[in-house]
Chains A and B, each alone.
Chain A
Amino acid sequence: MAVAFDEMNIPGGDLRPAYQELARWLKETPPEALEYRRQEAELLFRRIGITFAVYGDSESTERLIPFDVIPRIMSGKEWALLEKGLKQRVRALNMFLRDIYHGRDILRAEIVPDDLIFQNPVFRPEMNGQQVPHDVYVHIAGIDIVRVDAEDFIVLEDNARTPSGVSYMLENREIMMRLFPDLFARHKVAPVERYPDELLAALRSVAPLSASSEPTVALLTPGVYNSAYYEHSFLADKLGIELVEGRDLIVKNNEVFMRTTEGLKRVDVIYRRVDDDFLDPLTFRPDSVLGVPGLMSAYAAGNITLANAVGTGIADDKAIYSYMPDIVKFYLGEEPILKNVPTWRCREPKDLAYVLDNLGELVVKEVHGSGGYGMLIGPAATKATIEAFREKLKREPEGFIAQPTLALSTCPTCTASGLAPRHVDLRPFVLTGSKRTTIVPGGLTRVALKEGSLVVNSSQGGGTKDTWILDE
């Protein structure tokens, strides 16, 4: 694999402009001071209780995501390009969803194959022909971006269901500002703190017609045992809305109410962090205790807005991903600003043959997997793992896609042996309301802390960094 693009250092010894002040500061700051601040940061995170749960880990149900104190920095110009690309991409995602659940022009134009939609378990026939308020499906999108050079931004994955991580964007900034006020004084960092306001405004703007002029918004969480529970409570608090569980809600006459100490109170918009499958036991999984019986009929009656809408999984499915450049062109008539990773669709025999021949160099992902589980990173895998994967692939080729192993860009990161480059990605959060799309300048930078590792997922030993967009 080629040497990765480093976002700070240019081979030959020069620095990329956005990092010059940081480099100067690093030179002035003794390593012990950095280590001391790192420990302080960890203490803060633990005290605030910013933890996440790792499924299948009985040892400790609550863990901290390691936090790296070296910020990841982008120039305002780089951000402007990225922002434009993100808005374009999310617009296309919303138009695609509207089309799939209504006219299906894109299928008739044979841009996307029918069976990829209709045989996809995340396609929701319940949504066929259903009007969603203001035609917004994906109110909150988390688009995973990687870089391999100074020019392009590449989308690794679209997250259009219930993307998480935004609390880290906000808390990382809080903690950095507390620990390194001097460093902030020396940079002009665009603030991220208005995210909760923007989110609330977006959610209120999509309230159903039957709502009052002061719509009530609530955040629906699966509960304290969910891995992202901290984020749910954090956001509810910042937004000033109730954090509800399924058992707090009740549907009467196709309206949704929450049980309060003063009786039932109508809810108009639910920012739901519960997956489609668990939303309503009458429609989806009957064994779900996380959902609200009757919620889908209130939704169909147009009395409640769900954000994100039901059925958005069909847009961020890994099998659909490879069609995204065509999807953007089809709906917007524009060239996609953000690139896609070249993707082999294992469902297509030609592609499958190529993938089987080159397993050692490719990354193979399950179409329906997430969180970095169940994927093969060819260059890092043992022979036995590759052979086992080959069998899985042959058995069920339509369940997989393959991509070249990208040399993800690196950023300087604190390690046991001092600063060293580590691979990073970025998840900015795109908010879509009834009238406008906004993106707070920044996002969640995830970093693979192990040397050479390309897996940034927190469930697999990844950490996070504060992301700075310079306001030049």
Chain B
Amino acid sequence: MLSRTAENLYWLARYVERAEYLARTIDATLRVTALPAAYIGKTNEWDSALLTAGVAASFYQQYEEANEHNVVDYLSFSTNNPSSIRNCIEAARLNSRSVRTALTSEMWDTINSAWIELQAAWSKGASTREDLAKFLRFVQETSLRFDGSAYRTMLRNDAYWFSRMGVHLERADNTARILDVKYHVLLPEEEHVGGPLDFYQWSSILRSVSALTAYHWVYRETLKPWLIADLLILNDTLPRSLASCYGNLVRNLDQIGVAYGRQGPAQRHARGIRNRLEHSNMNDIFQHGVHEFIQEFIADNSRLGEIITKQYLI
């Protein structure tokens, strides 16, 4: 297929995944901040939402204060934030338009309808909390529909694999980022271990990667930082864990390698990361330092993005 088509499919999937992740982050932050002050502690949750989205620096160039109004606006609707939900959907639509021939009509319809709704209903943002909740649901449903229609309607060929690689690469990045921002909460040495504050902080992490229920099913335990980190990093049954994302990335890259009859640095690099995840345990990771481990992972992950681009997309 055309390199440009593959590139567009890959980025289209990334934009949709990112939009969903942002919606989940805002949703989870709203829940935590709705709690009485005693439960939240002194951390500014809106500030950490900006950090997990990776846009804190650009935010402060335009706003003084990271409060609900400003952050929600910046992450959801701002046209000045290149990775706001609005811009993600706009970019997804533009990408879809340039690869229409590679999309199934269901996928196109999902993105086009979302774009039409964005213009029609959300051009002025959300005026109330109810409105905002509706918007966040709309974004999450769009992503689910997009994913579902890709899964159900696309031919299993390189177009599908490039699109899935976009999903998993973006997802791994998002999960890693939220872990990184909240890693101090996960450290058992922190002073208010076991306090109510931690409980809500942890549950908000899990909520933002839609893993709260999953946690209970997997561990049948109260929320423990150790296990949360285990779930998000090493447990490959959780679709948003780093291990699961890399299981999928390796598989997609292998499928492409087989179809094209040759492998390259992207396959090798992805396998390397997957192997590291497979052979790690939480003990080592905590010893080594969660922050350091995640920082390395984020760098490795974005390096894979560059390698894929070089090998296939240009």
Residues of A bordering B, CB below 8 Å: 46-47, 49, 223-224, 229, 233-234, 236-237, 242-245, 247-248, 258-262
- The answer to whether B4 and A49 have CB atoms under 8 Å apart is no
Of the 9-residue stretches B94-102, B203-211, B269-277, which lies at the interface with chain A?
Answer: B94-102
Contacts of A247 in B (CB 8 A): 4
Name the contact of A262 in the complex, choosing from B4, B112, B260 (C-beta under 8 A): B260
- The answer to whether A245 and B113 have CB atoms under 8 Å apart is no
Instruction: Tell yes or no: B147 within 8 A of A by CB.
Output: no
Instruction: Tell yes or no: B47 within 8 A of A by CB.
Output: no
Contacts of B313 in A (CB 8 A): 261
**Whole-angstrom distance between the alpha carbons of A247 and B109 in the complex?**
27
- The answer to whether A233 and B2 have CB atoms under 8 Å apart is no
- The answer to whether A224 and B98 have CB atoms under 8 Å apart is yes
Q: Is the interface of B mostly helix, strand, loop or mixed?
A: helix
Name the contact of B4 in the complex, choosing from A46, A47, A234, A248 (C-beta under 8 A): A248
Q: Given the interface contacts A242-B2, A260-B1, does A233 sit within 8 Å of B100 by beta carbon? A: yes
Q: Given the interface contacts A47-B112, A261-B260, A261-B313, does A244 sit within 8 Å of B98 by beta carbon? A: no
**Whole-angstrom distance between the alpha carbons of A229 and B99 in the complex?**
11
Size band of the B side of the interface? Answer: 20 to 34
- The answer to whether A49 and B112 have CB atoms under 8 Å apart is yes
Q: Given the interface contacts A49-B112, A261-B260, does A248 sit within 8 Å of B101 by beta carbon? A: no
Contacts of B112 in A (CB 8 A): 47, 49
Name the contact of A260 in the complex, choosing from B3, B116, B256 (C-beta under 8 A): B3
- The answer to whether B113 and A47 have CB atoms under 8 Å apart is yes
Contacts of B116 in A (CB 8 A): 46-47
Q: Given the interface contacts A248-B3, A261-B312, does A233 sit within 8 Å of B97 by beta carbon? A: yes
- The answer to whether A224 and B94 have CB atoms under 8 Å apart is yes
Instruction: Give the shortest distance, in Å, between A146 (CB) and chain B (any CB).
Output: 33
**Whole-angstrom distance between the alpha carbons of A245 and B260 in the complex?**
23
Contacts of A259 in B (CB 8 A): 2-4, 314
Q: Which residue of B lies closest to A239 (CB)?
A: B101
Instruction: Give the shortest distance, in Å, between B249 (CB) and chain A (any CB).
Output: 16
- The answer to whether B2 and A229 have CB atoms under 8 Å apart is no
Contacts of B162 in A (CB 8 A): 261
Of the listed residues A236, A243, A261, the one surrounded by the most CB atoms of chain B closer than 10 A to its CB is: A261
Instruction: Give the shortest distance, in Å, between A45 (CB) and chain B (any CB).
Output: 12
Q: Which 4 A-B pairs have the closest CB atoms?
A: A233-B100, A237-B101, A261-B312, A259-B3
Name the contact of B108 in the complex, choosing from A49, A224, A236, A245 (C-beta under 8 A): A49
Instruction: Give the shortest distance, in Å, between B263 (CB) and chain A (any CB).
Output: 13
Instruction: Give the shortest distance, in Å, between A94 (CB) and chain B (any CB).
Output: 30
**Whole-angstrom distance between the alpha carbons of A46 and B4 in the complex?**
26
Name the contact of A248 in the complex, choosing from B2, B100, B312 (C-beta under 8 A): B2
23 contacts between A and B (CB under 8 A): A47-B112, A49-B97, A49-B108, A49-B112, A223-B98, A224-B98, A229-B97, A234-B100, A236-B101, A237-B100, A242-B2, A242-B5, A242-B101, A243-B100, A245-B4, A248-B2, A248-B3, A258-B2, A259-B2, A259-B314, A261-B6, A261-B158, A262-B260
Contacts of A234 in B (CB 8 A): 100
Name the contact of B2 in the complex, choosing from A224, A237, A260 (C-beta under 8 A): A260
- The answer to whether B2 and A244 have CB atoms under 8 Å apart is yes
Instruction: Mark contacts of B3-16 with chain A using CB atoms, 8 A cut-off: 1 yes-contact digit, 0 otherwise.
Output: 11110000000000
Q: Which residue of B lies closest to A221 (CB)?
A: B98
Instruction: Give the shortest distance, in Å, between B209 (CB) and chain A (any CB).
Output: 31
Contacts of A223 in B (CB 8 A): 98
Given contacts A47-B112, A224-B94, A234-B100, 20 further A-B contacts (CB under 8 A): A47-B113, A47-B116, A49-B100, A223-B98, A224-B97, A224-B98, A237-B100, A237-B101, A242-B1, A242-B101, A243-B100, A243-B101, A244-B2, A247-B4, A248-B3, A259-B2, A260-B3, A261-B2, A261-B3, A262-B260
